[in-house]
Amino acid sequence: MNYLILLGLSILGAILYRLGGAHGYNTNFRDVGMSIITILVLAFLCGRSIVNWLGMASLVLVLALTYGAQTTYFKRKGTEAKWWNWALVGLANGLALLPWALYSGQWIEWGIRTIGLVVLVMTWSEVISNAVWEECGRGFIIIASLGLFLRR
């Protein structure tokens, strides 16, 4: 059941990521939307009690760091993104969950996800030339990769 919910939230992440980059829409669809989905997945699907102050603090930090990771492609405005820009986008999204790894002790999952995001976001962004699919794919990958933190 958790995997179906994660799939739905990953699709929502894809849509919000795209809307945040689409002409006529505010970037907060991506910046805020992806951040909220991330902490929702961690808070409700990952089987950890967050009722203590440490759990809440980790989610607040993840929210802030994920927001920051969504706001940049690590390039100057008006320049073309290169492969290393996309690798940095993946790395930033992976590092954003460091407070969760500290809280939950899920270091292996965090490491696999961080390395995976670097490779997957970079590869997807370099291979896919259609901006709509490229952005939808990045949003989907970022949220779906949280599945590594789900308790089986």
Are the CB atoms for 46 and 151 separated by under 8 Å?
yes
- pTM (predicted TM-score): 0.94
Residues spanned by the domain of 98: 2-149
How many distinct structural domains can be found in the chain?
1
Are the CB atoms for 35 and 70 separated by under 8 Å?
yes
pLDDT digits (tens, 9 = 90+) for 20-40: 999 999 999 999 999 999 999
Of 107, 17, 31, whose CA–CA distance to 66 is shortest? 31
Q: Which amino acid is at 30?
A: R
9, pLDDT greater than 70: yes
Which pLDDT does position 1 carry in this prediction? 78
pLDDT digits (tens, 9 = 90+) for 99-120: 999 999 999 999 999 999 999 9
Which pLDDT does position 151 carry in this prediction? 73
